[in-house]
Amino acid sequence: TATSDVILRTERVSKQFGKFTALKDITAEFRRGAITSIIGPNGAGKSTYFNLLSGAFPPTSGQVEFEGRDVTGLPQHKFAHMGVAKSFQITNVFPQLSTHENIRVALQALSSRYNIWTPRTSYKDLVVQADELLHRVGLWSRRGRLAGTLAHGEQRALEIGMALASHPRLLLLDEPTAGMSPEETRVMMDLIVQLAQERTVILVEHKMKLVMGISDRLLVLHHGELLAEGTPADIRRNETVKRVYLGQ
């Protein structure tokens, strides 16, 4: 059916912070297996929308649906349990632990919450899984390094590795290339494309050009409203979008 192509959707979601409306009546769909990017200038409401999509907080009004089910207001861990993982705009690794240990912490946090690891699950299994995740995010050669000593781009990749520990079907990334050099940015974009081969990805980014080439769909937010939605080609020729980005 048509709905099974949609992994996540929002129906007229709004978010108020006191009297301030950060998001207003956003109705949108996210297709399974696609890379959908949420773009817009700083302050447009991207992170607020990201937080609604990942269950960090509920909308003031409207509805969030995951796989056809109303999940509005469900606690964060329920989103995680459904297969939603995210990384934040701000780096969030344990600086005093090694790269490998950071991944193991993420795997073990899951074990206690979901009983994925039984007491019989060996330390070796855990190490093997951590190794595999480190390979996946390109950090194998850094496994013994303290996370705090990694380059910024590597810390972001580590964070994504930690998010992958739960085998998410949906990966949400908020400005994963923030503060990165051009080279780090290129490596991160390659990683995102690679990860998207196995799961749905929703990406928040304020630099439109960066995500144009890799996105299947784009949502453009501006002053808390959905300004435009479509393929990169649709967005590129949208006059209103051009105006908003030129006016920055």
Residues that bind ligand ADP (CB under 6 A): 17, 20, 22, 40, 42-48
Antiparallel, parallel or unpaired: β 35-39 and 200-205: parallel
Structure tokens belonging to residue 7: 């992994």
Q: How far is the CB of 62 from ligand ADP (least distance, A)?
A: 16
Residue 42 partner contact from ligand ADP, Mg ion, none using kind-dependent CB cut-offs of 5 to 8 Å: ligand ADP
99 binding Mg ion? (CB under 5 A): no
In the complex with ligand ADP, the residue whose CB is nearer, 17 or 114, is: 17
CA dist 220 → 46, 96, 146, 164 (Å): 9, 38, 38, 27
In the complex with ligand ADP, the residue whose CB is nearer, 102 or 177, is: 177
Q: How far is the CB of 42 from Mg ion (least distance, A)?
A: 7
How many residues bind to Mg ion according to rule CB under 5 A? 2
In the complex with ligand ADP, the residue whose CB is nearer, 33 or 41, is: 41
Inter-residue contact 9 to 29 (CB < 8 Å): yes
Q: Which residue's Cβ has the minimum distance to Mg ion? A: 47
In the complex with Mg ion, the residue whose CB is nearer, 46 or 104, is: 46
Q: How far is the CB of 37 from ligand ADP (least distance, A)?
A: 13
Q: How far is the CB of 47 from Mg ion (least distance, A)?
A: 3
72 binding Mg ion? (CB under 5 A): no
Which 3 state secondary structure label does DSSP give 80?
Answer: helix
Contacts of 179 (CB under 8 A, 6+ apart): 152
47 binding Mg ion? (CB under 5 A): yes
Question: What is the spatial distance between Cα 137 and Cα 10, in angstroms, rounded to a whole number?
Answer: 30
Q: How far is the CB of 74 from ligand ADP (least distance, A)?
A: 20
Contacts of 153 (CB under 8 A, 6+ apart): 180, 181, 183, 184, 185, 187, 188
Inter-residue contact 33 to 56 (CB < 8 Å): no
Structure tokens belonging to residue 85: 């993982």
Residue 28 partner contact from ligand ADP, Mg ion, none using kind-dependent CB cut-offs of 5 to 8 Å: none
Which one of 43-51, 138-146, 151-159, 162-170 is the stretch in contact with Mg ion (CB under 5 A)? 43-51
Inter-residue contact 230 to 65 (CB < 8 Å): no
Q: How far is the CB of 86 from ligand ADP (least distance, A)?
A: 14
What stretch of H or E contains 243? helix 239-246
- Binding region for Mg ion (CB under 5 A): 46-47
